[in-house]
Structure 1
Amino acid sequence: MKQWYEELFTNYVEKYENESFTQGTMGEVDFIESEINHDKSSKILDVGCGTGRHAIELSKRGYHVTGVDLSENMLNRAREKASMAGVEIDFRLGDARSLPFEGEFDLVIMLCEGAFPLMETDEMNFQILESAARSLNNNGKLIFTTLNGLYPLFHSVKDFINANSNYSTNRENTFDLMTFRDKYQLETEDDDGNKMTLNCNERYYVPSEITWLLKSLGFNEIDIYGCKLGEFSRDNPLTTEDFEILVIAEY
């Protein structure tokens, strides 16, 4: 049986690319470049790369990028776009929990909830972090975004999603204070206009949890900031107004 995120991305390429949350690529890549000091020799792994927006832009700027995603449909679109952009990227079908890499990359990115924290258990989410950490070399850096557990304590997640998605409606929303999981029904249409009702389950994280998880994987330096679309910056302190957290971890 497919999980909700597998169902959603089976045929959701065009709608995904027109969602408001995918429109900040240039500024986000500017930030990623600054975090690796514009070192073109850096090998970068994009986990949950989707249709390749970050991977392609990084490749256009001269970086060696590998992209991994669970959706063949999204990867096919990524390959098309890379070909049109005249760049070569190793796009692979794969599960973020069991990446086949060991110490190969200078940087791993997981942006816009491409993989973490969509898994149905905390253990599965942790496997993604383990897998990403294992893919890094000894001087590697991990940059990812995740859902901010402070946000639902002060705001309605349902209202936020309904206000920020062009194609989907969030219904029957329940945020569980004991697990920090948000369960809801997502009503949307695929690229062919077929209606879908998906039972979604997403995990929100508070900063202290993220820090503890990453320290348990050997990261020494962990910085957490507010995440602003297209404007990733170390100058954005995390607040209860941020829907997402930006995490930067180094050994």
Structure 2
Amino acid sequence: MSEPTFDAENLFDDDYLYFFADHLDARSDAEADLVWRLLDLRPGMDVLDLACGHGRISNRIAQRGCRVTGLDSSRVFLERARQDAEALGVAVDYVHGDMRRLPWTGRFDRVVSWFTAFGYFSDCDNQRVLAQAAATLRPGGKIAIDLNNYAAVARTYQRSTVVERDGDLVVDRHHLDLLTSRNIVDRTIIRDGRTRKVPFFARMFTFTELRGWMLAAGFTTVQAVGADGAELTIDSRRMIVVAER
């Protein structure tokens, strides 16, 4: 079976910001509140936002007094993050890089991976990301990973979704590969009369599977909650895994 394609450069670009950034920003204050509570954050802590996107969580945590580093592979996202940080009057160290090869060891008190920013690689590389994240933490440090809840997604699976903005469209056609636990997506973007296609996928996890991976990566305790920090159930659209090193 051939590997599906993940075209990160053409997925995480200006079109993504055009269609999705405003919607995401509208919920970012509440999500930053949740991150703060789940990770027991305090001013002065060193925090790594892993795959930070356009900085919507990083900037809000920095506003509360944490020293934040945001890493992402998209230069477009990082430029937007820096602009927003400047507008908010906060200092965040935004770094272009690959989450499979993190340049820090024992540097951070907390790591954040938010809005399905994990699961973009082969299983081997996804496991490497967890090991790398664990290595960046000081002893007793914590990580929070926000993902789709596999049980809820599989039960209510949608084979296609459409996002519209001012007559422009994003059309996603989904295929859930049960052999690899991947949601494979063929995205069509129609904007300003131009049409292009972008393939990508995201690995999905049951809690027990991801807990096993995280314990193997060096974390000592692993727990999970649902959206908004409520109990994780079959109806929870999100699964937030919190682990301690």
TM-score w.r.t. length of structure 2: 0.88
Q: Look up the match of 1:144.
A: 145
Q: Which amino acid aligns with 1:50?
A: G
- Aligned-residue RMSD, C-alpha: 2.1
Structure 1 residues 169, 44: CA separation in 2 closer, same or farther (over 3 Å shift)? Answer: same
Please give the alpha-carbon distance, in whole angstroms, between the structure 2 residues aligned to 1:241 and 1:142: 24
Q: Which amino acid aligns with 1:183?
A: I
Does structure 2 conserve the Cα–Cα contact (< 8 Å) formed by 1:42 and 1:63?
A: yes
Please give the alpha-carbon distance, in whole angstroms, between the structure 2 residues aligned to 1:77 and 1:194: 23
Size of the aligned set, in residue pairs, is: 237
Structure 1: any 5+ residue segments left out of the alignment?
none
Please give the alpha-carbon distance, in whole angstroms, between the structure 2 residues aligned to 1:241 and 1:69: 31
Q: Look up the match of 2:21.
A: 17
Please give the alpha-carbon distance, in whole angstroms, between the structure 2 residues aligned to 1:122 and 1:165: 33
Structure 1 residues 225, 163: CA separation in 2 closer, same or farther (over 3 Å shift)? Answer: farther
Shift of 1:86: 0.8
1:74 aligned onto 2:68: no
Shift of 1:193: 6.1
Shift of 1:126: 1.4
Shift of 1:178: 1.8
Q: Which structure: greater strand fraction?
A: 2
Please give the alpha-carbon distance, in whole angstroms, between the structure 2 residues aligned to 1:118 and 1:43: 25
1:28 aligned onto 2:22: no
Please give the alpha-carbon distance, in whole angstroms, between the structure 2 residues aligned to 1:164 and 1:245: 23
1:40 aligned onto 2:43: yes
Structure 1 residues 38, 93: CA separation in 2 closer, same or farther (over 3 Å shift)? Answer: closer
Matches within 5 A, 1:76-91: 76-91=79-94
Does structure 1 conserve the Cα–Cα contact (< 8 Å) formed by 2:142 and 2:242?
A: yes
Q: Which amino acid aligns with 1:207?
A: F
Shift of 1:128: 1.4
Structure 1 residues 90, 111: CA separation in 2 closer, same or farther (over 3 Å shift)? Answer: same
Structure 1 residues 84, 130: CA separation in 2 closer, same or farther (over 3 Å shift)? Answer: same
Query: Aligned to 1:96, what secondary structure does the other structure show?
Result: coil
Please give the alpha-carbon distance, in whole angstroms, between the structure 2 residues aligned to 1:23 and 1:58: 16
Please give the alpha-carbon distance, in whole angstroms, between the structure 1 residues aligned to 2:72 and 2:92: 13
Q: Which amino acid aligns with 1:212?
A: G
Does structure 2 conserve the Cα–Cα contact (< 8 Å) formed by 1:5 and 1:118?
A: no
Q: Look up the match of 1:57.
A: 60
